[in-house]
Amino acid sequence: MITGAQAMVKCLESEGVEVVFGYPGAAICPFYDSLTASAIHHILVRQEQNGGHSANGYARIANKPGVCIATSGPGATNLITALATAYMDSIPMVAITGQVATDVLGRDVFQEADITGAAEPFTKHSYLVKDVNELPRVFKEAFYIAATGRPGPVLIDVPVDIQRRELSKEFKYPDQVQIIGYKPSIKGHNLQIKKVADALSNAKKPLICVGGGAFAAEGHEMVRRLAEEYNIPAISTMMGIGVFPSSHPLYMGMLGMHGVKHANQIVREADLLMIIGARVGDRAVSSPDVISPNTTIVHIDIDPAEIGKNIGTTIPLVGDCRTVIHQLIEHCNSHNRPGDFSEWTQYVRGLRDTYTPDTSPREYGINPKYFLRRLSEKMPDDAVYVADVGQNQIWSANHIRIRKGRFLTSGGMGTMGYSVPAAIGAKLADPKREVIAGCGDGSFQMQMMELATICQDQVGVKIIIFRNRKLGMVKEIQKKSYGSRYIATSLEGDPNFTVLASAYGIPSESIKASEEIDGAIERLLSANGPFVLECVVDPEESSI
Amino acid sequence: MKHTFSVLVENRAGVLSRIAGLFARRAFNIESLAVGITEDPAFSRVTIVAEGSDYTVEQVEKQLNKLIDVIKVRTINPAELISRELVLIKVNAGQTERSDIMNIAEIMDAKILDISRATMTLELADTSERIDLFTELLRPFAIREIARTGTVALQKGTDTISVKK
Ligand SMILES: Cc1ncc(C[n+]2csc(CCOP(=O)(O)OP(=O)(O)O)c2C)c(N)n1
Ligand SMILES: [Mg+2]
């Protein structure tokens, strides 16, 4: 009979896992030992949190759960931020941790941490495996739970003695799961579909607000179809960027605290707001009065708990957004086609067209907004852009122009240090695609150890560092709300990033004038492997 | 307002901590919680009494339903509710007080479980309100110790909250 560790590897193989991101330690050694006999590609990250973020980026591009691995104790606790980041953005992930042996569990032995307990608020589900024969069922369930319904991270904690023990029965990976308490609803309720269709045919000024949930269900094309079929304008949350190409005639940009003015204005003016796969968190709609009390609100989400949590809903519609919107379109086409919204659509398009981004050159450094627009024009149509957190995230969200590509970021958690490891994961999920990480100088230093991972596995991600020598977003808060009493936001001790890149043998460049932008973008995009581009930005540059 | 939730769960390690954690995390206040095995030993029933608005009730139900180990959640309609708590009370009872206490016990349908020279220990299984009343009635005699369970509840009539259906 095979051991638990061998069974774990077989489970991953049965799930079709090709790449895993991890960091070893004593309590996970049996598993690693079994991995030597497998074709699964293991990427040694330089910190467990980054392994989690890489699995996150991988999942979002591969459209299946990303896998990360850590040892017990500190390895496992280092994973927590990555689990929380994935949980908040509903990203499917399976995290495997080693644990101390079952006979000493609970005695505070060396490197023991109650990780299933600690990660409880940040996981969709978790398992502490105490019987080696349970491993196949647990893995099958974990992958299933992570990927279905509202996706999320699932943790499997496996004590080291369980990894070593032999199974007492023949290994068989289950074809199906049997979980009585977990049956996500996929199809929308017909009555609710009809209500939404009626609301749509009564509406004069409908508006779609789409979030990251559309990607989870691979429903982004269906959302686009809905908009195009009936000529309904759309806005997105930060997580929903890319559902519509940025220059789509019906797409009006990102709403919210850091969104564009006209997007927030039309939310107020719409008489029917169709929220699709979005939580409507506080960054998107900061206060209830942003939306008029007379607006009919349709909320389409796979998670019933999201409906009515942050925003009052007139018509809830629970289900997988691709299926549900398909049902809605069918219903509308055969029963009541909505009216003609062209007047409203023209009006909102007019508002959008009055917006001209500020692309003028700066006296000091480059204009990041202009830079991102130039980069967008030159990058391949299907490029993946991963934005970090800070002012740079807001610049990226509003100025990167997506065509057929993706925009990835840590929307819910706002985790600094997300972009480079997530970009590594995204690149490994689809090596032919251009993957670009854009980060601040502060956030870069939370992840720069991953340059080594990039070198070791020759991952050709491109990194852009917006260097303002500040924790710019916090500094901006101090300026606006704390009487410009600046503290703990200056990054004067920073190294020279191009010298740092060359220490890893990664080609790099630094620019600080408008004229340098095009050439630098050219070299960044044509580089055959990784590339680091530092863009010097005025510390006074504002987020919006 | 007080609400009684009947929650059917898989009888597994960690379920209770997930439920308790969820209440704490989402700032829902638990008044009482009782767990026990059901007619099928694979499942337990958790009865939770919690205070909150309609919004809270809706969120509690939905968030509980998201837990993978939770099979079914039902808020029991107050008109349909049959509920019981159990209390054990040890009260000071010398010769002079004994008959008064026995009177109260008889009126309240409580049992006398133990008697000593200085104390009596009484048992009452009743609704939460009647147990509060019983406690108040005994208070003048100086209560030494109370052990009280959480509420357990079922619905009236033939309807059940079970795994099937
Ligand atoms: C892990 C983590 N710690 C702290 C914060 C709070 N925070 C938000 S933005 C920011 C500044 C980011 O600085 P930098 O990466 O240089 O980006 P900039 O705003 O300058 O573009 C900080 C500290 C955070 N989001 N994540
Ligand atoms: Mg900065």
**Which pLDDT tens digit goes with each residue over A43-66?**
999 999 999 999 999 999 999 999
Residues in chain B with CB shorter than 8 Å from the CB of A304 are 62, 65
Rounded mean pLDDT of A392-413? 97
A451-510 pLDDT per residue, tens: 999 999 999 999 999 999 999 999 999 999 999 999 999 999 999 999 999 999 999 999
Of the options 3.40.50.970, 3.40.309.10, 3.60.20.10, 3.40.50.2300, the CATH number for the domain spanning A4-164: 3.40.50.970
Same fold, B2-76 and B82-152: yes
Q: Structural domain boundaries of chain A?
A: 4-164, 190-353, 368-536
A214-231 pLDDT per residue, tens: 998 889 999 999 999 999
Rounded mean pLDDT of B85-97? 96
From residue B101, give the alpha-carbon distance in Å to each of A84, A179, B98, B141: 57, 52, 5, 8
A324-357 pLDDT per residue, tens: 999 999 999 999 899 999 999 999 999 999 989 9
Mutation target to probe the A interface, by most A beta carbons within 10 A, among B26, B68, B161, B163 is B68
Rounded mean pLDDT of A128-149? 98
Distance from CA of B87 to the nearest CA of A (A): 32
Q: How many helices (H) and strands (E) does chain B have?
A: 4, 9
Residue B25 confidence class, pLDDT cut points 50, 70, 90: confident
Whether residue A210 has pLDDT greater than 90: yes
What span, in angstroms and rounded, lies between the C-alpha atoms of B19 and B13? 12
For residue A389, which ligand has an atom nearest its CA? 1
What span, in angstroms and rounded, lies between the C-alpha atoms of B141 and A373? 81
Nearest atom in ligand 1 to the alpha carbon of residue A471 is: 13
Same fold, A190-353 and A368-536: yes
CATH number belonging to domain A368-536: 3.40.50.970
What span, in angstroms and rounded, lies between the C-alpha atoms of A59 and A216? 10
pLDDT for the residue A393? 98
Minimal Cβ distance to A304: which of B62, B69, B72: B62
A248-269 pLDDT per residue, tens: 999 999 998 889 999 999 999 9
Residue A287 confidence class, pLDDT cut points 50, 70, 90: low
Domain B82-152 has CATH 3.30.70.1150: yes
pLDDT for the residue A457? 96
- The verdict on a CB contact (< 8 Å) between A303 and B66 is yes
Rounded mean pLDDT of B25-31? 87
pLDDT for the residue A81? 98
Rounded mean pLDDT of A186-200? 95
Give the chain B residue nearest A152 (alpha carbons). Answer: B66
Lookup: tokens for A381: 């149509």
Dihedral angle sign, alpha carbons of residues A49, A55, A59, A65: negative
CATH number belonging to domain A190-353: 3.40.50.1220
Whether residue B112 has pLDDT greater than 70: yes
Nearest atom in ligand 1 to the alpha carbon of residue A415 is: 26
Strand segments, DSSP code E, in A104-160 are 125-128, 153-159
* Residue reference for tokens 């979005």: A278
Model ipTM value: 0.88
Among left, alpha and beta (phi > 0; psi -120 to 50; other), residue A329 is: alpha
Top-confidence residue, A112 or B56: A112
Percent of chain A beyond pLDDT 90? Answer: 92
Rounded mean pLDDT of B99-119? 97
Q: Is B12 near chain A, with CB under 8 Å? A: no
What span, in angstroms and rounded, lies between the C-alpha atoms of A113 and A74? 8
Mean pLDDT, all residues of chain A: 96
**B29: part of which helix (H) or strand (E)?**
strand B29-37
Contact partners, residue A32, CB within 8 Å, separation at least 6: A24, A42
Indicate the SS3 state at residue A133: helix
Mutation target to probe the B interface, by most B beta carbons within 10 A, among A90, A102, A180, A185 is A180
Residue A431 confidence class, pLDDT cut points 50, 70, 90: very high
pLDDT for the residue A286? 65
CA-proximal residue: ligand 1, atom 3 (nearest): A416
Percent of chain B beyond pLDDT 90? Answer: 82
CATH number belonging to domain B2-76: 3.30.70.260
What span, in angstroms and rounded, lies between the C-alpha atoms of A395 and A371? 10
CA of A261 to the centre of ligand 1 (A): 24
Residue B1 confidence class, pLDDT cut points 50, 70, 90: confident
pLDDT for the residue A461? 98
Percent of chain A beyond pLDDT 70? Answer: 99
For residue A445, which ligand has an atom nearest its CA? 1
Q: Structural domain boundaries of chain B?
A: 2-76, 82-152
Top-confidence residue, B52 or B89: B89
